[in-house]
Amino acid sequence: MFFNIVVYSRDVFGYEKKITYNEKYNFEEIDFQQTEENIILSGTLISPKIEFDRIVIIIPGSGKDRRSSLVILSEELLKNNIAVFRYDERGVGKSEGKFNNITYGISNKINDVFFRY
C-alpha cells in the first residue's frame, strides 16, 4: 500500500534562507497573474531603504523553489543597491498552479514573468 501525502508549507527548505536585514531593506509581497493559464504567482520585492534604480527578477530553478532561494545572490545584489524580486514557483509556497519540473522548462518559467502591456 502506498500513501501519497502532499503538504503545503510556507516554511523554507533546508537550502533556503530568509533575508532578515529589516533595518536596511523594505519587503513588499506582490501577487501577479500568469495570464495564459490564469494562475496567481506570489513573491516578495526586497528593496534597499535608500534610493535605488535597478531591480533583478530571480526566476526559480529546476527544483521546488520558493522566494527564499538563491539567498547569497540576493544578498549580494541588495548590498550593491539593487532590488530583488523572488517568487514562489508555481505549485509551491503561496503560488497557484501545479509544480512539474519534468515538462516545465525555462521557457515556461520565463513566460510566467513575461508581462504584456
For residues 17 and 117, the model is more confident at 17
Check residue 52 and give its pLDDT.
94
The pTM score is 0.73
Q: On the CB side of 92, how many CA atoms lie within 13 Å of its CA?
A: 22
User: Is there a contact between 110 and 61 (Cβ–Cβ < 8 Å)?
Assistant: no
Chain centroid to CA 95: 9
Average pLDDT over residues 13-19: 63
Question: What is the Cα–Cα distance from 41 to 113, expressed in whole angstroms?
Answer: 9
Average pLDDT over residues 19-38: 85
For residues 81 and 92, the model is more confident at 81
- pLDDT greater than 60 at residue 96: yes
Check residue 54 and give its pLDDT.
96
pLDDT, tens digit, for every residue of 31-90?
988 878 888 999 999 999 999 999 999 887 777 777 877 888 899 999 999 999 998 888
